[in-house]
Amino acid sequence: MTVPLLKVDNLAVEFGPKANPIRVVDGVSFEITAGGAVGIVGESGSGKSITSLSILRLISEPPGRIVQGRIEFNGVNLLELPRSKMPDIRGRDIAMIFQEPMSSLNPVMTIGDQIGEAIKLHEAMTGEERRARVIEMLRLVGIPDPAGRLDAYPHQFSGGMRQRVMIAMALACNPKLLIADEPTTALDVTIQAQVLDLMHKLRRTLNTAVLLISHDLGVIADVCERVVVMYAGRVVEEADIRSIFRTPQHPYTRGLLQSIPRLDDDRDRLYQIPGSVPLAGSVKKGCPFYERCSLRIEKCMNKMPPMFSFGPDQRAACWVTASQADAKEKEAALQ
């Protein structure tokens, strides 16, 4: 059993006044092994971005705060580190890229200075060495003529190129973990494919572990080995990529998969999960998916389902499918 690179355990994040907090992330646990790739998928407001921000402790306090759980990186609980130590971790051990490539670069600094800034913070290098490193990073992410573009400003780059620059900046110090929060959402599909290819390449060449946040299962399937499905601040299913697509166990995951449009589909209207995500903090008891679930039984209304195991690589939080699986197992045992 290898020690995971990152282990998030029972994480909970609250927003709003202390007296009447809104819990936007509740009991989230998952692991990433060194060099591995895990995807978090979920609708808007499911808490996936907050989870990723919590790892680097980038949640602004107030109004937000992490109220429970552990985030272990290489065996060190990041939540117990003093706040002043966090800048040493950020960028050097764990790096992050964000959704908006168009505005994630400082408009008044050159590309070279911005990538160089990250290197300067974490590694002792002379100006020359740093420049060489920046050029190397730009070449790695596929910016043509990297030496000539060092002194260019962000507005001279297209969206896809800016996202590459962001990736170069994040990877400049060889972090062990790259958190990518919807890195392809704002890009059109061809650029999306290029960025995903780039992430594959980086995983191969640098052995960087990746935590990919997305609402697009296709993107996650392309890059990741494991998937964490989040709904209303909770993990509802966690499995390897194969099981998620072949045997999804949570009705929400099944709904998500059904809503993916298919080329051979003749339906006039795409499938949709009825209803919408409950407001953060409005679910007090029972399964958060109860209102929209097609399989719901009375038990779901009152008792939050724990994570049930479905085989060695798959866990899901659903009373109904768990009992169905149990029944099937018993049937198999009888025969």
Partner 1 sequence: MAVSIEHSELPSPSLAPEPRALSRLGYELFSRTSTMFAFAVVVIFVFVAVFAPLLAPYDPLAQSILKINRLPSADNWLGTDQFGRDVLSRMIYGSRNSLIFGLISPVLAAICGTVLGVVAGYFGGIIDRIISRLIDLLLAFPELLLAIMIAAVLGGGFWNVIAVITVAFVPGFARVARASTLAVKQEPYVEAAIAVGVRTPVIIFRHVIPNIAAPIVVLMTLWVASAIRLEASLSFLGIGTQPPNPSWGNIIRDGLNNLFGSPWPIIGAGFAITCVVLSFNLLGDAVRDVLDPEISE
Q: How many angstroms separate the CA atoms of 250 and 199, rounded?
A: 29
Quick one: tokens of 243? 């099981």
Q: What is the DSSP secondary-structure string of 74-111?
A: TTEEGGGS-GGGHHHHBTTTEEEE-S-TTTSS-TTS-H
Q: Which is nearer to partner 1, 99 or 247 (CB)?
A: 99
In the complex, what is the shortest distance from the CB of residue 277 to partner 1, in angstroms, rounded to a whole number? Answer: 24
Q: Which is nearer to partner 1, 116 or 305 (CB)?
A: 116
Q: Which is nearer to partner 1, 161 or 293 (CB)?
A: 161
Q: How many angstroms separate the CA atoms of 111 and 221, rounded?
A: 31
In the complex, what is the shortest distance from the CB of residue 153 to partner 1, in angstroms, rounded to a whole number? Answer: 7
Phi/psi at 15 (nearest 5 deg)? -125, 165
In the complex, what is the shortest distance from the CB of residue 46 to partner 1, in angstroms, rounded to a whole number? Answer: 20
Q: How many angstroms separate the CA atoms of 140 and 65, rounded?
A: 37
Please report, as ranges, the residues that interact with partner 1 according to CB under 8 A: 56, 58, 87-92, 95-100, 103-109, 117-118, 121-122, 145, 148-149, 152-153, 155-156, 166, 169-170, 172-173
Q: Which is nearer to partner 1, 85 or 303 (CB)?
A: 85
Return the number of other C-beta atoms located less than 10 Å from residue 267's C-beta: 8
In the complex, what is the shortest distance from the CB of residue 160 to partner 1, in angstroms, rounded to a whole number? Answer: 13
In the complex, what is the shortest distance from the CB of residue 167 to partner 1, in angstroms, rounded to a whole number? Answer: 11
Q: Which is nearer to partner 1, 28 or 97 (CB)?
A: 97
Residue whose C-alpha is closest to residue 317's, from 284, 293, 281, 282: 293
Q: How many angstroms separate the CA atoms of 237 and 256, rounded?
A: 12
In the complex, what is the shortest distance from the CB of residue 31 to partner 1, in angstroms, rounded to a whole number? Answer: 22
- Strand boundaries in the chain, DSSP class E: 6-15, 22-32, 37-41, 65-73, 76-77, 94-97, 177-181, 209-214, 226-231, 234-240, 308-309, 314-316
Q: Which is nearer to partner 1, 179 or 277 (CB)?
A: 179
Q: What is the DSSP secondary-structure string of 154-166?
A: GGGS-HHHHHHHH
